[in-house]
Structure 1
Amino acid sequence: MTISEISRDTLQDVQGLPDTRGIALDEVGVEGVRYPLLISDALGNKRETVATVTMSVSLADHVKGAHLSRFIDVLHAWRDQLGSQAVTLMADDLRQRMGSATARVTLTFPYFLERHAPVTGIASFMDYTCTLTAAANDLGEELNLGVKVPVTSVCPCSKAISDRGAHNQRGWITIDAKPRTPATGLWFDDLIDVAESAGSSPVYALLKRPDERHVTMAGYDNPVFVEDMIRTVAGALHGDPRIAAYRVRVVNDESIHNHAAYAQIPWTAAAATVAEAGDD
């Protein structure tokens, strides 16, 4: 028999052999996979990006191993249709293909939005690091959205104590949110807008001199601590009926200190979820 005549059925399936140690595994899979895909934006348009992917399934105590090639099979099959509902279907497809009780998919990628300079209106693209995580089991699915958004922050204390000027720095606002359902319409654009509104000023890819002047003065007129930013973000997320739970972290890369300043809020149930629990 030549190599070309060897079929898959004639080769031993080592992963499918039984295991006698009686130890179930919560997660077995692949990580660090870089893959091109199309991700939906808030309007349903498809955007090209390259994601770093982690995919895993649970493994029963009697199963020796997972068939790693099937992870890439599933990823490739869903690569051009990834939105909030599609990614949960992708996770369930993986679960069923692997014969597992649970499956999880995490995609991290640059997400580009066109932004216009505040005075000249000139257009450019800003990139935001976004994460989409979906899990599926016999009871249903779970979806998490994550964004990391750069902002400018001007120090209120520096402004208050200085005869002129105030130090400012790049801040990073990271938001993770669990939509109440995949069909609520919550998307990265919404979380990015919340984050950018909380800083002293958004960050732009392209500014002309009139824009730079405007951004500099607007930031000076709106100084914020990390505490201010995180409270503003939490207030917006807490009252959003599309959100079941959220967590927030804000970090300032301080410009005049040899350290970073940060504030964070752990996973917190949103107001609508709390209200429903009270009704019960």
Structure 2
Amino acid sequence: MPTSMPDIANQVQAQTEGTLDWVGMSQIEMPMMVASETGLPQQVGARIEAFVSLDDPKAKGIHMSRLYLAVDELANDNVLSASSIKELLGKFIATHEGLSQSARVSFAFEYLLRRKSLISGKQGWKGYPVTVSAERVGDQVTLELEVGVTYSSTCPCSAALARQLIQQAFRERFSEEDVSREEIVAWLGTTEGIVATPHSQRSLAEVKVKLTDNVDILPIVAMIDRIENTLKTPVQAAVKREDEQEFARLNGQNLMFCEDAARRLQHELNRVSTVRDFRVRVNHYESLHAHDAVSITTKGISGGYRP
């Protein structure tokens, strides 16, 4: 009959005594079913971090396998939602009774959405980076959602300079007073007519929100839609010529510095009742400069997110 295996974490005292804020595992890879607001749950490939506090200063360590098995049970038997995450944190603490009073977990994955083009109605897939994280201290649970949305930003300063060059070219070309409408229209359709264009660049909005306690299904799609509708120029999936033209129009009618983008999102998120706190970072990956333009804002509540 085999002898029992030693459990060093339970039987051996710490070499140096002391409590630890968090001990656990990172880069756990598992498939997860994410509860959806719009239909069936979506399966994602998640990278997970799982931690508990080590509150017993004399304990050698925690039970890593118990964290893993609890996460694996969620992956196999449940969908990712606020209630299932809260239940998971409860299991972390229950399986570390006497060792831990706090727990935290995070799930990072790409969320795929079917997106329709601007005019033609063609559809394609777009992926959005998402992180869902939660922390339990005592009986209090904090749930956070972070999403990344890529969009196009056209520089207002560059647009003004381009318009000035077009005006100058117009004066030089049509110096006489009597000019026909047809001549002007034809000239505007040439490279000589539009002698300069403003610069635009791919940009990224990273929005992190702290959700209220009444949320269960994670509002991933709603948050992505809100960000894209606020900025108005999200990058496209399937594109035909009419979609490209509409995208150019939207860029021309939504000129923005990084400050403008951050303020738009700030204003919009302040209106969302399920958002307790938020942090926004917009990154404009400059096409003119070798550096990026960045703007950061928070809700600004006491004890909340800091820039």
Q: Give the structure-2-normalised TM-score.
A: 0.81
Distance 2:295 2:126 in 1: 25
Deviation, 1:136, is 1.6
Query: Structure 2 CA distance, aligned partners of 1:109 and 1:135?
Result: 18
Tell me the residue number matched to 1:278.
Answer: none
User: Residue 78 of structure 1: CA displacement?
Assistant: 0.6
Question: Which of the pair has the greater relative contact order for Cα pairs under 8 Å at 6+ separation?
Answer: 2
Alignment of 1:39-118 (within 5 A): 39-43=34-38, 45-60=40-55, 61-79=57-75, 80-99=78-97, 100-118=100-118
CA contact (8 A) 2:25 2:64 kept: yes
Per the TM alignment, residue 173 of structure 1 is displaced from its structure 2 partner at its CA by 0.3
Identity across matched positions, percent: 26
Q: Which amino acid counterpart does residue 73 of structure 1 have in structure 2?
A: L
Match of residue 287 from structure 2: 255
Deviation at 1:219, TM superposition (A): 1.1
| Post-superposition CA distance 1:117-162 (Å, at most 9, x none) | 0111111111100000011232221100000110111111111111
Secondary structure at the aligned position of 2:259 is classed as helix
Superposed, 1:8-23 pairs within 5 Å as 10-17=4-11, 18-19=13-14, 21-23=16-18
Q: Does 1:151 align with 2:151?
A: yes
CA contact under 8 A between 1:88 and 1:142: conserved in structure 2? no
1:43-91 CA deviation, whole Å, 9 max, x = no partner? Answer: 3631011111111100121211111111210111111411122112212
SS for the counterpart of 2:128 is: strand
Distance in 2 between the 1:193 and 1:41 partners?
A: 14
Richer in strand (by share) = 1
Q: 1:20 to 1:12 in 2, by over 3 A?
A: same
Which residue of 1 is the match for residue 212 of structure 2?
Answer: 180
Look up the match of 1:130. Answer: 130
RMSD: 1.9
Distance in 2, Cα, partners of 1:223 & 1:118: 18
Q: Which runs of 5+ in 2 are unaligned?
A: 167-195
Q: How many residues get paired?
A: 265
Q: 1:249–1:264: 8 Å Cα contact kept in structure 2? A: yes
Residue 211 of structure 1 aligns to a residue whose secondary structure is helix
**Alpha-carbon shift at residue 109 of structure 1 (Å):** 0.3
Matched, 1:235 2:270: no
Offset of 1:257 from its aligned partner? Answer: 0.9
Counterpart AA for 2:8? V
Instruction: Name the CA shift for 1:81/1:200 in 2 (closer, same or farther; >3 Å).
Output: closer
Counterpart Cα distance in 2 of 1:122 and 1:237: 30
Counterpart Cα distance in 2 of 1:132 and 1:267: 19
CA drift of 1:185 comes to 5.7
Alpha carbons 2:215, 2:274 under 8 Å: kept: no
Distance 1:229 1:240 in 2: 17
Higher alpha-carbon Rg: 2
Separation (CA, whole Å) in 1 of partners of 2:53 and 2:137: 10
Counterpart Cα distance in 1 of 2:72 and 2:232: 41
Q: Which amino acid aligns with 1:98?
A: H
- Aligned to 1:32, which of 9, 22, 27? 27
Q: Does the aligned pair in 2 maintain the 1:39–1:46 contact within 8 Å?
A: yes
Contiguous gaps of at least 5 residues in structure 1? 274-280
In 2: Cα distance, 1:85 partner to 1:216 partner: 43
Match of 1:170 among 184, 199, 202: 202
Structure 1 CA distance for aligned equivalents of residues 131 and 202 of structure 2: 21
